[in-house]
Copies of this chain bind each other. A is one copy, B any other.
Amino acid sequence: MAKKTPALADLSTEEKIREAARKLFTKKGYAATRTRDIAEEAGLNLALLNYYFRSKEKLFAIIMVEKLQKFFGFLLPIIYDESTSLESKLETISAGYLDLLMVNPDLPFFILNEIRNNPDLIVNVVKRKDFLKNSVFLKQLKDQRPDADPLQFLLSLLGMCIFPFVMKPGFQKITDTNDHKFFQMMEERKKLIPVWSKAILKAKYPK
């Protein structure tokens, strides 16, 4: 039996606060989240937040690093894997991202939002700043299509994977799609994106 969200009562006080902070920060962002809300969400007193984490900002920084690692961490081993083909990587990346985001639908928006406020955050997590430029993935792209800009392709691949989640609330409102239907679509996208990304990879590159 998987324990996605462990019962609040079972957690230590510190972890209760973390869990509540994760939920609220990802949902509403730093500025719109009040420490009172976090304390209430955790079923605890406000003072405990400062007792354990000293300040809202410090608590936020902890959650942020966690989330950044989730968002970029799983990508690193894939794009540096010498043993897999480009096509295999496309499948792994899209399926991996969709699985990750189906469990954490608010993650991309949160990350993108807070990077906007502080772009240097990325560097701290990604460590090596040329991690993308030096990757096997980018080299394989360059090999397959020496005539094309691999970054253009990457933007489209990520857009296809991530954008639906960034747009989720608006999309659901416009198309009258409930959560069940949305996640069903994302499940289908796991098959679609590999096919589509290969199609655009083979497409004639316009001059």
Contacts of A196 in B (CB 8 A): 156, 199-200, 203
**CB nearest neighbor in B for A30:** B32
* Closest CB in chain B relative to A133 CB, distance in Å: 7
Given B117, B131, B159, B173, which contacts A32 in the complex, CB threshold below 8 Å? B117
Prevailing SS type, chain A contact patch:
helix
Q: Which of A37-45, A52-60, A96-104, A186-194 contacts B (4 or more CB under 8 A)?
A: A186-194
**CB nearest neighbor in B for A152:** B192
Interface size on A, as a range, is: 35 or more
Query: How many chain copies?
Result: 2
* Closest CB in chain B relative to A127 CB, distance in Å: 12
* Closest CB in chain B relative to A5 CB, distance in Å: 21
Q: Give a binary string over A162-182; 1 marks a CB under 8 Å from any B CB, 0 the rest.
A: 111011011111111100000
Cβ A195 vs Cβ B188 within 8 A: no
Cβ B158 vs Cβ A189 within 8 A: no
4 nearest A-B pairs in the assembled complex, by CB-CB distance: A159-B163, A159-B159, A31-B32, A31-B31
A contact set with B: CB distance below 8 Å:
28-32, 109, 111-113, 115-117, 119-120, 122-123, 126, 129-133, 149, 151-152, 155-156, 158-160, 162-164, 166-167, 169-177, 185, 188-189, 191-192, 195-196, 198-200, 202-206
